[in-house]
Structure 1
Amino acid sequence: MTDIEWASGTWTNEPVSVELADDGMRVTAVEGSDAWRITSYGFVHDTEHGLLATLAPGTAMEVSFHLDFSAQFDQAGIFVKVDESTWIMAGVERSDGEDSLGAVVTRGVSDWSLSPVPGWHGRIVTIRASRSGDALTIRARVDDEPWRLVRVAPLDPAAAVTAGPMCCAPSRAGLTVHFTAWRTGEADASLHPDH
């Protein structure tokens, strides 16, 4: 994997502040920032903070961050965008008092999945989005533990796609996420690497 320069991305929505340092990028989210379309809640939110660069066919992108959330719906990870109503957001979200790994897949309306990740708090989480054929495969891990599959979602092979670090703070002011890495490389060789 090759590092991507933080300055090479373009924000979907400007955060409160961005601080660059040798150990990464610290992003402070706007209170109420979120990404969602319609399902169950009935609203459209498109105020996420996504720092996006090109995600070409046959490539993968990884985003790493320090997990230290404390408030309902604090979240960070990767945002993969085709257009205003077609996007995928994957990472860790604080929901109902616990950190959960999940994804929101949106094709006109949003589809959300979550799975608790006890023991990940205070550690470095990496989310990997791999674009191959007609699919985007999302994997995640904490520190150097094995990758786990999060989601396989359809993605138009001909679409122009951008992706990169993302954070949102739907319920509070003052969320600052410390992103430690942003990298790109070749797409995963297969959906089931051990087979």
Structure 2
Amino acid sequence: MIDTVPWSDGVWTNDPADVVTDGTGLHVTACEGSDAWRITSYEFIHSSEHALLAPFEPESAIEVQFRLDFAEQFDQAGIFVKVDDETWIKAGVELSDGEESLGAVVTRGMSDWSLSPVPDWSGRLVTIRGSWSGNSLTVRARVDDEPWRLVRVAPLDAAAPVTAGPFCCAPTRAGLTVHFTSWRTTAPDAELHTSA
């Protein structure tokens, strides 16, 4: 079963510069300098991301879709899964060094970061899926109706409540507006690897 999550069900971690809801979805304008990162390599802690979060239950999955339209270094959007201020995962697409890249940041005290270029995704509808099963979050992504790609398998074994939903950040500029077209919950992935 697939259920649409109303935008009004979420609570912002940090208020965006502007939010407009219309018949096509949610348009979120990020504040200049917004970001989520902890310590690794850069030595700073940023927790100014715009994440619209609702309760995320074990043995379920969330899917967030947005139109990829980035222009400046580190423009980013996707899903944010939060346990607490030091334990969270963000996954989606980010403009890094001039090209759109699919990736994830997994944070457990300190952040890590992985990226894979997807230059042919620009201007298209991107869906990021986070599937929580057992002790892990499996992140997959696709563009339009193309097959899912495995992005990351990360630990997610929390006794505390977990929240999740769409997010965006604009670390280097003002004026980034992300058009989110859907936010849904569904059953978790049946297995990590699909048969050929």
Give secondary structure in 1 for the equivalent of 2:100.
strand
Equivalent position of 2:123 in the other structure:
122
Tell me the secondary structure at the aligned position of residue 119 of structure 1: helix
Residue of structure 1 in register with 2:84 after alignment: 83
Runs (4+) of structure 1 moved beyond 2 Å?
none
Letter in 2 for 1:20: T
Equivalent residue, structure 1, for 2:24: 23
Post-superposition offset of 1:42? 0.1
Q: Does 1:155 align with 2:153?
A: no
Matched residue SS, 1:26:
strand
1:118 is displaced (CA, Å) by 1.7
Normalising by structure 2, what TM-score?
0.98
Show CA shifts across 1:2-35 (max 9, x none).
Answer: 1100000000000011100111000000000000
C-alpha separation in 2, matches of 1:28 and 1:94: 16
Counterpart in 2 of 1:50? Answer: 51
Distance 1:194 1:23 in 2: 36
Q: CA–CA distance in 2 between the matches of 1:172 and 1:184?
A: 32
Given that 2:83 and 2:158 are in contact with CA atoms closer than 8 Å, whether structure 1 keeps it comes out as no
* 1:33-48 equivalences in 2 (<5 Å): 33-48=34-49
> Is structure 2 residue 9 aligned with structure 1 residue 12?
no
CA shift at 1:160, angstroms? 1.4
Compute the RMSD of aligned alpha carbons.
0.8
| 3-state SS in 2 of match to 1:177 | strand
Q: Percent identity?
A: 69
**CA–CA separation in structure 2 for the residues paired with 1:178 and 1:117:** 19
Corresponding position of 2:95: 94
Q: Report the alpha carbon displacement of residue 157 of structure 1 after superposing the two structures with TM.
A: 4.7
What secondary structure does 2:42 align onto?
A: coil
Contact 1:61 1:182 in 2 (8 A): yes
Q: Which residue of 2 aligns with 1:110?
A: 111
Alpha-carbon offset, residue 159 of structure 1: 3.5
Is 1:3 the counterpart of 2:1? The answer is no
Residue pair 1:133, 1:157 contacting (<8 A) in 2 also: no
Query: Using the alignment, how far apart are the partners of 1:118 and 1:66 within structure 2?
Result: 14
Aligned partner letter, 1:141: R
Give per-residue Cα distances to partners, 1:43-67, cap 9 Å, x unaligned. 0000000000111000000000000
C-alpha distance in 2, partners of 1:122/1:188? 27
Q: Contact (CA 8 Å) 2:33, 2:172: kept in 1 or not?
A: yes
Superposed CA deviations along residues 79-138 of structure 1, whole A, max 9, x for unmatched, are: 000000000000000000000000000000001000000210000000000000000000
Q: Which amino acid aligns with 2:16?
A: P
